[in-house]
Amino acid sequence: MRTLLITGPGGAGRTTVAAATALAAARQGQRVLLLSGDPGDPVAALVGAPAGPSAEVVPGLRAVPVAAGFRVARVDSGEEFRDELVALQDRGSALLGMVGARPLGAEELTELPGAEQFALLRALRRAAAAPGTDLVVVDMPPLHQTVATLALPAQLRRYLARLLPAERQAARALRPVLAQLAGVPMPAQWLYEAAARWDEELAAVQAVVEAGTTSVRLVAEPGPAAGAALRTGALGLALHQLGTDDLVANRLAPADSADPWAASVAAQQQAFLRERDPAVPLRELPHLGRDPQGPDDLAELSARAGGGGLAPGRPGREHRAWPVEDRLAEDGVLVWAVRLPHARKDDLDLIRRGDELLLTVGPYRRIVPLPSALRRCTVSGAALAEDVLRIRFTPDPGQWPRTS
């Protein structure tokens, strides 16, 4: 099963392209699930009336078949937040009772900032496990927010490992004694059990995000602002090794328009297309002269995209791996090749800390575990050329195996 994440700068038409992609794939015979978390449910106006009742696809995720020929699942972050917090209160009732807390009822809970991200990630994991599905199309938030959301599972797992390390086994051994002395249940067990559940959930989401069958489709309305946003967002995706399938240039004005204003817009759009990254395949969608409404408009958009329409091809995985190049014989170093398309030297910063590398690229930061061979080396330099940051590592004589 494939997962295709649709994102791009705000206002570029991500939801329309997500729905048109789902329709195009469904008409090729694929069993498609469209996942949307947009408030107000804008997908409903695009995909047509329900063709049947809502049904549970997997536990915790319901979907409704639509006239366009696929299923639509909507993420309700408010409901997800309330259910999760009520369940958390129930599991920690003993600890809450110790401190005299009054549990909150579901009806008085309102979601907090960030709840949408967690609800979307949880729905993404559930959708990836949906039986009878060939393709999951996800209508993601704007590009910058998407990068931050997809990076969350790995970041939070690292925090949990640091804040609740393996030493918790000692706390478990002491817990019965401490509980007898105090006369009340100790919170350690609840805390570590909760952390274990969170880590398991985050690991499952991270596995979906990093899977070879998961990739990104970028959507942009061509123009100067889109160019800057795409460049920054593409750097963030590359930093987190997320594959990009293609770029959909949306709402293109006709190049032969007699209207001076439309001709000016078209000229700017064509300039954007000429300057884009040629390594990313391009799909062009014309402006229909109206806001797309219903499956017929979605089908027209896909048909006018040319080639195979908007149905996704193979995942864009070719640049995701960061290989370690062995140059020990020639230069006495190992080189870690980190591909960062359109990066500039002033975008970059890196710090070695233990067995991790802290990489900063523009507004994005990632803490990356070093491959095992590089952990026994010291960083001896780095250079950016042809969209690849090559970090040189010199073997540490005290740790590197000696050859006779």
Find tokens 């967002």 and name the residue. 233
- β-strand partners of 193: none
> What whole-number distance in Å separates Cα of residue 114 and Cα of residue 16?
24
* CATH architecture of residue range(s) 324-395: Sandwich (2.60)
Residue type, 187: P
Q: What is the pLDDT of residue 370?
A: 94
Q: What is the pLDDT of residue 184?
A: 47
Q: What is the pLDDT of residue 345?
A: 92
> What whole-number distance in Å separates Cα of residue 175 and Cα of residue 189?
8
> Domain map of the chain by residue range?
2-78+110-161+207-303, 324-395
Helix segments in 99-223, DSSP class H: 115-128, 143-163, 168-182, 187-210
Nearest in space to 71 (alpha carbons), one of 80, 61, 86: 61
* pTM for this entry: 0.85
Instruction: Assess contact for 80 and 122: CB atoms under 8 A.
Output: yes
Q: Which residues of the chain have pLDDT under 70?
A: 40, 77-113, 166-191, 307-308, 314-319, 401-404
Nearest in space to 289 (alpha carbons), one of 307, 301, 278, 276: 301
Q: What's the token pair of residue 113? A: 């900032």
Q: What's the token pair of residue 277? A: 């990254």
Q: What is the pLDDT of residue 178?
A: 47
Q: How confident is the model over 242-264, as pLDDT tens digits? A: 888 899 999 988 877 777 878 88
Instruction: Assess contact for 41 and 73: CB atoms under 8 A.
Output: no
Nearest in space to 31 (alpha carbons), one of 71, 75, 73: 71
* CATH architecture of residue range(s) 2-78+110-161+207-303: 3-Layer(aba) Sandwich (3.40)
DSSP 293-310: -HHHHHHHHHHTT-TTTT
Nearest in space to 68 (alpha carbons), one of 87, 86, 49: 49
Q: What is the pLDDT of residue 253?
A: 87
Residue type, 195: A
3-state SS, residue 378:
strand
Output the CA torsion 120→232→158→369 (10° steps): 130
Q: How confident is the model over 303-329, as pLDDT tens digits? A: 888 766 888 876 655 447 899 999 998
